[in-house]
Structure 1
Amino acid sequence: MNGSVWKVIGAALVLTGGAALASAQPGPSGATGPVEAGPVEVGVVEMSLQEIPRVVTAPGHAVAFQEVEVRPRVGGVVEEVLYTPDHLLEVGDPLFRIDDSSYVAAEASARASLATAEAQLPVMQAAYDRAEQLAGRGYTEAEVEAARASLAEAKATLDAARAALDYAQTELSWTTMKSPIAGRADVATVSVGDLVTAGQSDALTAIVQADPIYVDIKEASTRILSVRKGFADGTLQPNEGLKATLTLENGEVYRGTGQLVTAGTTVSTSTGTVTIRFKFDNPHHVIIPGMFVRGEVVIGTMKAYLVPQRAATRGNSGKLTAYIVGEDGTARQVILEDEGSHENAWIVREGLSDGDRLIVDGLSTLRPGQAVTPVAAIIDEDGISRDADTSAVED
């Protein structure tokens, strides 16, 4: 190998060694190694205790305010259907007319029997009065007692005749079947010419009153115990008069609030829930009996921190964690104890203190102990972080 080749190789070794030496020069602290990156800029929100409504969200279903099945109280042939299905009925509106010819005859017979009894009573009264006046002077004591018994029998016959007429008239009135409640009637199960019997098992129609309407909300018994504990230890302040709002099956929020009717007193052995009933005005019949809904009930208020959901993560262990800016200017991870959510934030009671600067932006590559430069930020209604200075300019 000639001398020129060795010269080229030597020059390359000198250059390589120089580069390696340069990379191993001590940094500002005197230690050798790569120079570390500076602090990471992060968006922060200062934490403070807030009065937060404690909202319970639970499934439920609608129940008719009143519902009846209409059955005949007398038998006969249906002569007329007097209502239109699904039209609003008032109490006493006619539904069906049953052939009343036999009941008209029975009422006339009862009226005649009453007239006979009314005519007999004065005769029996006069006979008794005469016998009592002439007792011992033509009437024996036995005859007087017989007259008294005949008078009592005449009075009883008159009372029975009056009762028979009342019942005959009642049965006659039952031939026109009327609505016992206000509501909407289903399609009739009979038509003109059908024979019906008194007290039959098959209903002729059903009437449902859905304004107002009940909504039964199913709440887990474990959460009820938690709420009661909060009331007992003072961490939760109860509201006066529970009210509920509804979200319908299509996601629409129902206009109007429900008033508490009754809270359940037993726990379902199959679902572990307690039924709480609310009453809603339903003038437009938007809520239909049997419809499934989601109810929200504000049961009280509590003092807690609102942590934006985007600023916290829940690990495999179920614990909720977030980052705050430590006193030394580094990111410090904290474990949070949450009690549900409110809008786009977690409700946190433990793990934070007033004045803590919660990191809400720049979390993707953040590590515990990493130096950070905090920049004030705000979280809008959609849960999106924005720079506080920029937002102020936009406003």
Structure 2
Amino acid sequence: MPIRPVLRTVAVFAALSLAAPLTAQVPPSGAAQAREVGVVTLERAQVPYQVTLPGRSVAFDEVAVRPRVSGMISEIAYEPGRNVAAGDLLFRIEGDTYAADVAAAEADLEGARAALQSAEATLSRYQRLSGTGVAATEVETAEVSVAQARATVSAAEAALDLARLELDRTTITSPIDGIVALPEVSVGDLVTANQTDALTTVTRIDPIYVDVQESIRRIQEVRARFEAGTLMPGEVRDVTLELETGTRYDGQGSFVSPPISVSTTTGTSAIRFSFPNPDRRILPGQFLRVHISVGTAQAILVPQGATSRAGDGSLTAFVVTDGVAEERMLTEEGTFGNDWVVTEGVTEGETLVVDGLRNLMAGAEVRPVPVAISEEGVAVRADGQSESFTSPAAASGDSPPVASGDASGDEG
């Protein structure tokens, strides 16, 4: 009978027309529920203004040891790599020839002194006999002979001092306290006085210098902030060092030399610091990072975990304004601990979103929940709950709504 299919079709369309408005009236699950986010209240604080500069270590003292007399090396009296004190024996040059020169100089001095004694005796006798058989010219000649003898004695004494000095220089000692390097000669090698090649090198590395180069532009900017009052000057006491491995060095640095000139090619000035180095952890020539606190400034600390970098490199964060997430662009001047030092973009007393940032969009309705930031930079809920902040739909496990009704089924 043809009437039955028509009735079935009409019944299906009637069911769809009744179901459609009912489905449209059901709101999506959680649409009216605001998303929970963890927040902290921003505060203004007095924070140190730090500058980080690359540097290079330089030995405190370094001396190239060279011979001052010629001869053959007869002894190497030190162990390489050891600490030596000023005056410790390093090398010995064969000194037989120089000892003989000393003996000859001593003999010359004795002869000169004997000649002086004879000339003085003659002058004394002539002076007693003057006018009674000795002419005045003879007395004058005797006086000249005494003066010449005295000059000869002085020359002989100087020659003896020089001979002794040359003999002493056959013993080569360390001029400074430090660490002595490998010898560049062997026993039996011939050396010459004041030769170009050094016998060895003595280096003092405790303390050790670290030289840094700072842009003259940034130096002037810091001075301008001091003059404007936005940066409070302080003594340069907090100077720390970071090794090539990223490890913070334990020793505290001290200021040695201020910038006194500007490089015409790089526009930078050299600044020198000194660090204790008793364990030889720093060797000359290492590349290091120096962290310098030059003053303090009023700024707002923003946790680094609450920020992100935009495509153009700018730093952004979310704040809550009237229950709505608002994205802000921040101006930072370095870090302090786990926080950014922010000077522009947020103000004191604003509510900063630090947790629940995943998929958070500007303009989204949020419900702020106070949290605390741990020393490790992790947000901890103030209400004691350990669950992380998520979107309402993800937290409840609800799935998105789907259209109801199936037009393909037949009625029994």
Residue 377 of structure 1 and its aligned partner are, at CA, apart by 1.1
The residue that corresponds to 1:373 in the other structure is 367
Question: Could you tell me which of 75, 78, 81 is aligned with 2:76?
Answer: 81
Q: Take 2:235 and 2:363, find their aligned partners in 1: how far apart are those partners?
A: 47
SS at match of 2:188: coil
Structure 1 residues 85-130: Cα deviation after superposition (integer angstroms, max 9, x where no partner):
1111111111111110110111111112222222222333444556
User: Unaligned 5+ residue runs, structure 2?
Assistant: 387-412
Instruction: From 326, 334, 338, give the equivalent of 2:332.
Output: 338
How far the C-alpha of 1:3 sits from its partner, in A, is 2.2
Distance (whole Å) between structure 1 residues aligned to residue 128 and residue 328 of structure 2: 111
Say if 1:243 and 1:121 are closer, same or farther in 2 by CA, change over 3 A: farther
For 2:398, the equivalent position in structure 1 comes to none
Whole-angstrom distance in 2 between the partners of 1:227 and 1:288: 31
Aligned to 1:30: none
Q: Distance in 2 between matches of 1:117 and 1:78?
A: 35
Q: How many residues align?
A: 386
Distance 1:204 1:47 in 2: 65
TM-score, normalized by length of structure 2?
0.85
Contact 2:80 2:181 in 1 (8 A): yes
Where do 1:1-395 residues align within 5 Å?
Answer: 2-22=2-22, 36-128=31-123, 145-269=140-264, 271-326=266-321, 328-390=322-384
Q: Offset at 1:317?
A: 3.3
- Looking at structure 1, the residues matched to 48 and 336 of structure 2 have their Cα atoms a distance apart, in angstroms, of 8
2:408 corresponds in structure 1 to none
> Greater shift after overlay, 299-308 or 122-131?
122-131
Cα distance, 1:249 vs structure 2: 2.4
Structure 1 position 77, deviation (Å): 0.9
The question of whether the paired residues in 1 share the 8 Å contact of 2:85 and 2:178 is answered with yes
Q: 1:364: how far off?
A: 2.1
**Distance change >3 Å, CA 126–CA 307, structure 1 → 2:** same
In 1, the alpha carbon distance for the partners of 2:209 and 2:385 equals 45
SS in 2 for 1:389: coil
Provide the residue aligned with 2:389 in structure 1.
none
Q: State the secondary structure of the residue aligned to 1:211.
A: coil
On the 8 A contact 1:243/1:260 being kept in 2, the answer is no
Q: Distance in 1 between matches of 2:17 and 2:368?
A: 42
TM-score (norm. length: structure 1):
0.88
CA RMSD of aligned residues (A): 2.7
Q: 1:101 to 1:173 in 2, by over 3 A?
A: same
Q: Does the 8 A contact of 2:236 with 2:293 survive in 1? A: no
Question: How far apart, CA to CA, are the structure 2 residues paired with 1:11 and 1:391?
Answer: 53
Q: Deviations over 1:258-288 (max 9, x none)?
A: 1111123233455544332222222222222
Cα shift readout 1:156-188 (whole Å, capped 9, x = no counterpart)? 222221111111111100001111111111111
Note closer, same or farther for the CA distance 1:110–1:331 as it changes in structure 2 (3 Å cut).
same
Identity among equivalent positions (%) equals 45
Letter in 1 for 2:306: A
Q: Contact 2:236–2:292 (CA<8 Å) still a contact in 1?
A: no
Q: Is the 8 A contact 2:35 2:367 kept in 1?
A: yes
1:391 Cα shift?
7.6
Displacement, 1:250? Answer: 2.9
* Structure 1: segments with no counterpart, 5+ residues: 28-32
Q: How many Å apart are 1:153 and its aligned residue?
A: 2.4
Aligned mates of 1:267, 1:17 — CA distance in 2: 85
